[in-house]
């Protein structure tokens, strides 16, 4: 009955993804079937770790995160866990040879959120790498299916895409990060005095990340390309909304792309994909 247990655990990671992110869920659904469950597993793992530091305010976050780290290592070592999210994740780690360095960097970045509220340049880069770029690299390990040459060739664009996504999240969530958690991620930025010039500089940095990322997206394996491109389209659309919003709006509300627009983007992206226009 281990196969049934594996299936139930996989469904848990899928449920987590579907409930927490409509954008990534829609992107994953258009992957080749062989890629869907592994990416659900990666998302479920990173989502739960992030929840510990972002929302468990009345609980011992440091203790819980440390337990999560220990349980992750045990799951990988023993190749089994009673935590459904960790059980599914360890399977992916072993199947696709995801390096412990990537896992450690991710968990280290989550721990940083327990200790830092302002991120100067070196901390900012370390946090971006650990919280976002390594997640892109985990997914790339899945997409490359052991092709080392392809992985090395696409590492930099995968990091750029993860970086762009995270920086947009920082802009979108500036209000809640500052008011609920006391955090400001962008180096040298004072939330209470966030200016249009600050916003333009951050947006230029994001634009470069997106440009670099696109060069890698079009070289992904066919079964992964459209799903990653779709996530790219969703985020570039959100990016455009943020770019056109005044600073006051960015500081006062969480800008988002509504579900109807996401469906429209899905169909237009599917058309481009079918015509080989990516």
Q: What is the CATH number of the domain that holds 218?
A: 1.10.600.10
Question: What's the sign of the alpha-carbon dihedral 91, 86, 233, 132?
Answer: negative
Per the CB < 8 A criterion, the answer to whether 151 and 140 are in contact is: yes
pLDDT number for residue 275:
61
pLDDT number for residue 277:
63
Which residues of the chain, if any, have pLDDT below 70? Answer: 273-278
pLDDT number for residue 51:
95
Instruction: Tell me the residue range of the domain where 83 lies.
Output: 2-274
Tell me the whole-structure pTM to 2 decimals. Answer: 0.93
pLDDT number for residue 270:
73
Report how many domains make up the chain: 1
pLDDT number for residue 21:
86
């Amino acid at each position: 009955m281990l196969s049934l247990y594996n299936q139930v655990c996989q469904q848990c990671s899928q449920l987590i993804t579907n409930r927490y992110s409509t954008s990534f869920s829609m992107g994953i659904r258009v992957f080749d079937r062989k890629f869907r469950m592994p990416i659900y597993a990666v998302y479920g793992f990173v989502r739960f770790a992030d929840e510990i530091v972002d929302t468990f305010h009345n609980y011992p976050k440091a203790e819980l995160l440390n337990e999560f780290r220990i349980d992750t290592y045990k799951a990988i070592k023993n190749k089994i866990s009673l935590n459904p999210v960790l059980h599914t994740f360890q399977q992916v780690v072993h199947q696709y040879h995801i390096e412990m360095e990537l896992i450690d960097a991710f968990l280290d970045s989550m721990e940083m959120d327990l200790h830092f509220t302002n991120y100067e340049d070196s901390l900012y880069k370390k946090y971006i790498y650990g919280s976002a770029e390594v997640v892109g690299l985990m997914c790339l390990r899945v997409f490359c299916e052991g092709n080392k040459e392809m992985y090395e060739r696409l590492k930099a664009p995968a990091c750029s895409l993860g970086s762009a996504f995270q920086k947009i999240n920082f802009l979108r969530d500036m209000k809640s990060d500052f008011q609920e958690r006391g955090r400001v991620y962008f180096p040298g930025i004072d939330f209470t005095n966030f200016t249009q010039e600050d916003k333009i500089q951050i947006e230029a940095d994001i634009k470069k990340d997106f440009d670099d990322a696109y060069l890698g997206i079009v070289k992904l394996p066919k079964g992964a390309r459209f799903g990653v491109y779709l996530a790219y389209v969703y985020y570039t659309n959100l990016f455009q909304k943020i770019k056109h919003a005044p600073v006051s709006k960015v500081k006062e509300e969480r800008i988002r792309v509504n579900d109807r627009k996401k469906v429209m983007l899905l169909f237009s992206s599917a058309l481009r994909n079918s015509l080989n226009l990516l």
